[in-house]
A and B are shown apart, each in its own frame.
Chain A
């Protein structure tokens, strides 16, 4: 019996020791670990900016492809050359990416807001304020990108099993309300120095971003007064004048990722050829080519702006503020002031403010233009100044310059389609996804909003 005892004890000891079945995942932190510690929430803010870089890149890529900015390179997938001709089938990965990545950014922003609120006692007020404002700002801009790509979008998605889609006007107010919250937040409690230097991506300025985005969406809502007021608040000089996302090696910027290989796109050569010959924005963005031809025959120029994989991605180009200002003033019939703002875009020359942004270096406009002429010129300048930011699509849409699906346009007219089909990933699991909107079949056409 002694042996039985020994054996039993041995078996029991060996068996039960280390029997803990509650293991943690050492590879990825859990929700608790991230959202309930200041360090976790701060890392969430970095993750948010990373996600924003992704969703913003994906939006700009797709917007450029269905307008006259980009075309597919020879190695590209069929779906990319289809998209440049305006054909985007539901489920096309590059299109669904826009939706999916935008809402990942939104989710991370919501997580950050939740975390910053929950930890308000543990994070010093300036930092907590910055975190919340950053989350509201990037959530707003991401939703703004969604409403520039989809006819209807969901705006309440946090903790909701089947988000509902709302019309554009409602979405636009929600975006503007988020930006207002952000602006009020930074006005009430300015972000701490730690937030500005240690949390914001070096080279980006939260306050400037808020003003620029407020101006952008005020303009989109035809709120000229707010557009003008906020455009005037965007700094014109110094480090706060521009905000960029940086990609230290081995990271690469979004456009570097999609210029080679099967996702390959390049700027259409027509971008450069259509501008005034002395316009320096051509060589700022592209390297002139006489040979590059795309998958379905489009003439291409390789990127110059993003030729270096580590080239920073601008959150906005500063002169967008001037263009919004010019447009608001033109709408308010302040034609001289509008033309002056527009001329400062046209005459921006190398050396000027020392900022890495497109510089037309053109002569000022001759004589006072009419309101209609000014708005047309603003449209032209926006095309060259804001190349590759995705904003072209909204401009094309509001100018009713959508052409609809057409086979292999080697020189397309402005824009190829109104909206993207809703993401299959959402449709498969969300009963609230509306039917895909019909695309126009005649040119020029506006888009049903």
Chain B
């Protein structure tokens, strides 16, 4: 039973880390010191954490592995030593008053750490070994070494099962979407629920004025300073997230920010300077003759639109504390210019995390985070009136955009002058955000833990837009100029109460019972003022002459109760049953209360035992979760009337979207099985999970007969599944005195399938050739295709060598018989078919880290996505008749005889054949590459406690891909699910490249000092 005792100790430590139980006051104290060494070679282990159990006393070992902890209360104490990649050790010693006690520890390497404590999805802190689902956790070191602007960027390539895509390359992080185990919903964006220190936070990507309607300039997670983060936990689906009920279908990402530690104030200053650049230019038509053979001047506007741009980031943190009070304070300033001229993002923030021992059994925690983000953006994507990328792709290269007498010429057919846009069009955003929480933890007895958290996320967001007079083509009101100011206030209030009771041990059986309640209220208020007909000077709304305004208010509340029973047998077998009973205001009162149960089992076969197979744990779980409609559809249960003023009088008319008075949530059922394996004496660790998720009652718009005066209704329309494999392997390849080399590889395979669709298949991205179709993956490309010979499969070109569109009279013949004759079969009989799949077949990453002579750290992360298709609509736009600026179009201009010569109108034919624009989007990115050197010679350490850590790094340095566009990762849609009809978009809409903001290559140099 000794084993069990140690285990209990560990659990106690776990609580100590999170709940921080009290020490008895007024005791005399002693000193604990010693040295931590590696069992494999006897070397001292630096950066190991040593804590005195039951207290918050602790130290980190120095370069030789030595540590000292002062003022340890006398008496019998447990001392626990932990270090990443090693198995933690706890020793019990007696500390004498005024005496020095030596505690040396020898740690064994272990790539599998089943003792790690996880919180997310469990109600209370729980050891990983007991949890029947896989939880990914990412620590502060991993995040800071990514040298990324935002947390979601830093997570790219780190989490198996997650497809984290940067949809645009704008400053301030770009719009990033996170899909955990595939697309699970069409309505809610499919992004996970984000929680910061127990507070549900807003990660919307609100587009308050038109910056490309459905494009993704920035998601609000960009407001969180990555340097404040201690740890991130990610649970990927329904089985793990059942306790979050009707909003957890897409998984949960919980962020824990840094806490203070006992001791004198410790200041850490980090400074980073970066240089961003366009990775590579796109080819354009620079042929010096026009279609009639006349000489023509061509211009490359990429030189004028893009530039090498700088970025700086400064972080100052101070932490420290006493026995009763601990604090972490940080200040942060980041300023990044985008590679597209006139775009930038600036973030300033401060955080205070305070922990106060209120009584021997009561601890209070307060966090306060204020952020101000200021962006200067430009429209891109499908904004073709004043968007810069659209203007670049649609303008013939023969147009001279340089201003004449201060007047910028406009392009001939579509878009604006990109130089004018850079010079005069402005889209500033200002975000003022406060995220705060207060938490009380009460331990009335060693068996009972009570916890209450209240949190607030308050975002004030102003989006302005200024389009001067005469900046766009045509006579529409926009040509008279537009000034807009849109204010959006978002407030999320979150309350969480949880009680956990650990029963007295009964033989081999241990029991813990947890119960809790959670209440979330979100309110989003938006006010917009717009003016057209602008005066020549002045760019505020008041400079206009024709005004319009709008206001909306949306409120969502969710109340849930949950209970969980855990049973442990012999500290080997763990069974958990739990349920959440949940109601959201968005659903019909009759359908509102839903039960989301989960069951899980975990069996530890071997836990850090000697031998080849030193650890093995098997786990399995089954759970249910739901998802709620996004803000755009928050009131779908109501049959409402739309405002229809007429002739200057107020009026109502039925909303053509019919309410659904029986609206209920989508429901996901997920089961997973998996294992953690430790091999080769802890040098190799692996995590494997297979999951199977079925989402039923998928909500979307079912068509209503338009003869009823309605068009659609939010309704359960079908079922969709995601099945897949997640694999994570960590190896310690070399571990010698002067060289450490470790590797981490991830593999993710997900298969999405629309299992059942009760309505006709539909285009999920309004206006784009994709489909939600039974029997296919969600969002498959579906459109016109090139006719092929039905026997050979070869392209059926016409006599000039041009493509023919299938089943098209003009291209193939007047009658079906004629068309089948030249096809030699019926393979071209349809006008449209499935022509590609934007969902990757698999994703993988490989991280290698080297530490040389304990001073130099090298790190390289390769991140790849494989087997996905991209529809390159940017190049299609370039080929359109009005643009004719692509390289392919240039080949049409070449003289006959040139082997690259394309027949005339080759490109106008391909405009109508969407299959032609589908490309393989597989890529491997050198996502991160860095080299760090620690200057820790004595002179440095006299000034800075730990020396100076200098890092040279790069992000997105190289991309290996066959994709011809700017970047295979960018996507026209992705974070802005919602909209209807022509602007409809869902989480399934992936793989469209249309005027995206290219993702820059980033070089950085950073330094960290502490004193």
CA distance A250 to B703 in the complex (A): 32
Task: For B647, give its contact among A11, A49, A160, A161 (CB under 8 Å).
Answer: A49
Determine whether the beta carbon of B647 is less than 8 Å from that of A3. Answer: no
Could you say which of B635, B645, B707 contacts A50, with CB atoms under 8 Å apart? B645
User: Which of A103, A111, A201 lies in contact with B706, CB distance below 8 A?
Assistant: A103
Report B-chain residues with C-beta under 8 Å of the C-beta of A441. none
B792 CB-CB contact with A under 8 Å: no
CB of B709 within 8 A of CB of A21, answer no
Among B583, B653, B703, max chain A CB count under 10 A is at B653
A7 touches B440 (CB 8 A): yes
| B559 and A108 within 8 A (CB) | no
If A21-B592, A31-B641 touch, whether A7 touches B707 (CB-CB below 8 Å) is: no
Which residues on the B side are within 8 Å of A51 (C-beta)? 644, 653
Is A399 interfacial (CB-CB < 8 Å)?
no
Q: In whole Å, how far is B978's beta carbon from the nearest beta carbon of chain A?
A: 15
Q: Does A430 contact B (CB under 8 A)?
A: yes
State A22–B557 Cα separation when bound (angstroms): 9
Contact with A429, one of B442, B641, B705 (Cβ below 8 angstroms): B705
Interface flags, A230-262, vs B, CB<8A=1, else 0: 000000000000000111111100000000110
Which residues of A sit under 8 angstroms from B554, Cβ to Cβ?
27
A19 in the interface (beta carbon within 8 A): yes
Contact with A along B218-259 (1 / 0, CB 8 A): 000000000000000000000000000000000000000000
**B40 contacts A by Cβ under 8 Å:** no
Docked pose: A303 CA to B519 CA in angstroms: 60
| B653 near A201: Cβ-Cβ < 8 Å | no
* One of B552, B557, B583, B656 near A104 (C-beta < 8 A): B656
Q: Which of A11, A100, A111 has the most CB of B within 10 A?
A: A11
The reply to whether A4 and B497 form a contact with Cβ atoms under 8 Å apart is no
**Per a CB cutoff under 8 Å, which of B495, B584, B639 touches A14?**
B495
User: Which residues in chain A, 48-62, are within 8 Å of chain B measured between CB atoms?
Assistant: 48-51, 53
The reply on A274 being an interface residue by CB < 8 A is no
Tell me if A25 is interfacial: C-beta within 8 Å of chain B.
yes
Q: Do A163 and B707 touch across chains, with their CB atoms under 8 A apart?
A: yes
Among B431-480, those with CB < 8 Å from A are: 440, 442, 444, 450, 452, 454, 474-476
Chain A CB within 8 A of B548 CB: yes
Q: Which of the candidate stretches A38-46, A129-137, A221-229, A340-348 sits at the interface with the other chain?
A: A38-46
**A21-B583, A107-B654, A246-B647 as given contacts; A11 in contact with B640, CB under 8 Å:** no
Q: Is the CB of A50 within 8 A of B452?
A: no
Residue of A nearest to B711 (CB): A425
| A34, A47, A50, A247: residue with the most chain B Cβ atoms closer than 10 Å | A47
Our pick among B645, B647, B709 for the contact of A108 (Cβ within 8 Å) is B709
Whether B652 is near chain A, meaning CB under 8 Å from some CB there, is: yes
B546 near A250 with CB under 8 A, answer yes
* Proximity string of chain A (1-21) to chain B, C-beta cutoff 8 Å, 1 when within and 0 when not: 101100100110011001111
A46 to B642, CA, bound (A): 12
Residues on A with beta carbons closer than 8 Å to the beta carbon of B546 = 249-250
Confirm or deny: B5 has a beta carbon within 8 angstroms of a beta carbon on chain A.
no
B710 contact from A23, A27, A107, A202, Cβ within 8 A: A107
Question: B517 at the A/B interface (Cβ < 8 Å)?
Answer: yes
B612 contacts the other chain (CB 8 A)? no
Pick the contact of A201 from B440, B646, B708 — CB < 8 Å?
A: B646
**In-complex Cβ contact of B361 among A3, A23, A251 (8 A):** A3
Q: Which residues of A contact B442 (CB under 8 A)?
A: 3-4, 7
Residue of A nearest to B444 (CB): A4
Cα distance A136–B708 in the bound complex, in angstroms? 17
Given contacts A31-B639, A260-B476, contact A154 B707 (CB under 8 A): yes
User: Any chain A CB within 8 A of the CB of B813?
Assistant: no
B557-594, CB < 8 A from A: 557, 559, 583-585, 589, 592
The answer to whether B650 has its CB under 8 Å from any CB of chain A is yes
* CB–CB B553/A27 < 8 A: yes
Known: A11-B497, A28-B635, A108-B654. A23 touches B557 (CB 8 A): yes
Q: Does A332 contact B (CB under 8 A)?
A: no
Residues of chain A within 8 A (CB-CB) of B495 are 14-15
Contacts A21-B585, A43-B650, A46-B649: A106 and B709 contacting too (C-beta < 8 A)?
A: yes
**Chain A 100-144 interface residues, beta-carbon cutoff 8 Å to B:** 100, 103-108, 110-111
The answer, yes or no, to whether B638 is at the interface (CB within 8 Å) is yes
Given the complex of chains A and B, what is the CA–CA distance between A246 and B648 in angstroms?
Answer: 9
Please state if B644 and A50 are interface contacts (CB–CB under 8 Å): yes
- A100's partner among B440, B559, B645, B711 (CB-CB below 8 A) is B711
Q: How far is the CB of B939 from chain A (nearest CB, A)?
A: 53
Q: Which residue of B lies closest to A428 (CB)?
A: B703
Question: Are A46 and B709 CB-contacts (below 8 A) given A14-B454, A40-B652, A250-B546?
Answer: no
B640 touches A21 (CB 8 A): no
CB distance from A94 to the nearest CB of B (A): 14
| Chain A residues, Cβ within 8 Å of B553 | 26-27
User: Which residues of the other chain, B, contact A24 by a CB distance below 8 angstroms?
Assistant: 638
Q: What are the residues of chain B within 8 A of A250 when measuring CB–CB?
A: 546, 548
Using Cβ atoms and an 8 Å threshold, which residues of chain B touch A15?
495, 497, 517, 519
Residues facing A in B681-734 (CB within 8 A) are 702-711
Q: With a CB–CB cut-off of 8 A, which chain B residues contact A260?
A: 474-476
With the chains together, A11 CA to B442 CA distance in Å? 12
* Distance in angstroms between the alpha carbons of A225 and B706 in the assembled complex: 36
Q: Which residue of A lies closest to B554 (CB)?
A: A27
A106 to B440, CA, bound (A): 59
A14 to B646, CA, bound (A): 46
Residues of A within 8 A of B702 (CB): 429
Among B521, B707, B711, the residue within 8 A (CB) of A430 is B707
Assembled-state Cα–Cα distance A177/B364 (Å):
76
**Contact among A21, A34, A46, A99 with B646 in the assembled complex (CB-CB below 8 Å):** A46
Known: A28-B655, A111-B654. A100 touches B646 (CB 8 A): no
Q: Is the CB of A104 within 8 A of B653?
A: yes
Q: What's the least CB distance linking B773 to chain A, in Å?
A: 14
Q: How far is A48 from B708 in the complex, measured between Cα atoms in Å?
A: 15
How would residues 508 to 524 of chain B score, 1 for a CB under 8 Å from any chain A CB and 0 otherwise? 00000000010101000
The chain B residue sitting closest to A431, CB to CB, is B705
Asked if B555 is at the interface (CB within 8 A of a chain A CB), the reply is yes
Say whether A425 contacts B706, CB under 8 Å. yes
B643 contacts the other chain (CB 8 A): yes
| Chain A residue with Cβ nearest B448 | A4
The complex places the Cα of A103 from the Cα of B711 at a distance, in Å, of 10
- Given contact pairs A3-B444, A19-B559, A163-B708, A44 touches B517 in the complex (Cβ within 8 A): no
A22-B589, A28-B635 in contact; A426/B706 too (CB < 8 A)?
yes
- A432 to B480, alpha carbons, bound, how many Å? 48
Of A3, A18, A157, A261, the residue contacting B709 (CB under 8 A) is A157
Q: Is B646 within 8 A of A50, CB to CB?
A: yes
- Chain B nearest Cβ from A9, distance in angstroms: 11
Residues of the A chain whose Cβ atoms lie less than 8 Å from the Cβ of B475: 260
**Across-interface contacts of A44 in B (CB, < 8 A):** 641, 651-653
CB <8 Å contact, A49 and B646 = yes
| Cβ contacts A153-166/B at 8 Å (1 or 0 each) | 01001001111000
B528 contacts A by Cβ under 8 Å: no
CB nearest neighbor in B for A110:
B709
Cα A7 to Cα B438 with chains together (Å): 14
| Separation of A116 and B648 alpha carbons in the complex (Å) | 22
A sample of 19 inter-chain contacts (CB < 8 A) reads A7-B442, A11-B452, A11-B497, A15-B517, A15-B519, A19-B557, A21-B592, A22-B585, A27-B553, A31-B639, A43-B651, A50-B644, A53-B646, A100-B711, A103-B707, A161-B708, A163-B708, A251-B647, A423-B706
Q: A19-B557, A23-B585 are in contact. List 5 more A-B contacts (CB 8 A).
A: A19-B559, A46-B651, A47-B653, A48-B651, A157-B709
Nearest 5 Cβ contacts at the A-B interface? A107-B709, A46-B651, A50-B646, A47-B651, A47-B653
Residue ranges of A at the interface with B (Cβ–Cβ < 8 Å):
1, 3-4, 7, 10-11, 14-15, 18-31, 33-34, 40, 43-51, 53, 96, 99-100, 103-108, 110-111, 154, 157, 160-163, 201-202, 245-251, 260-261, 423, 425-426, 428-430
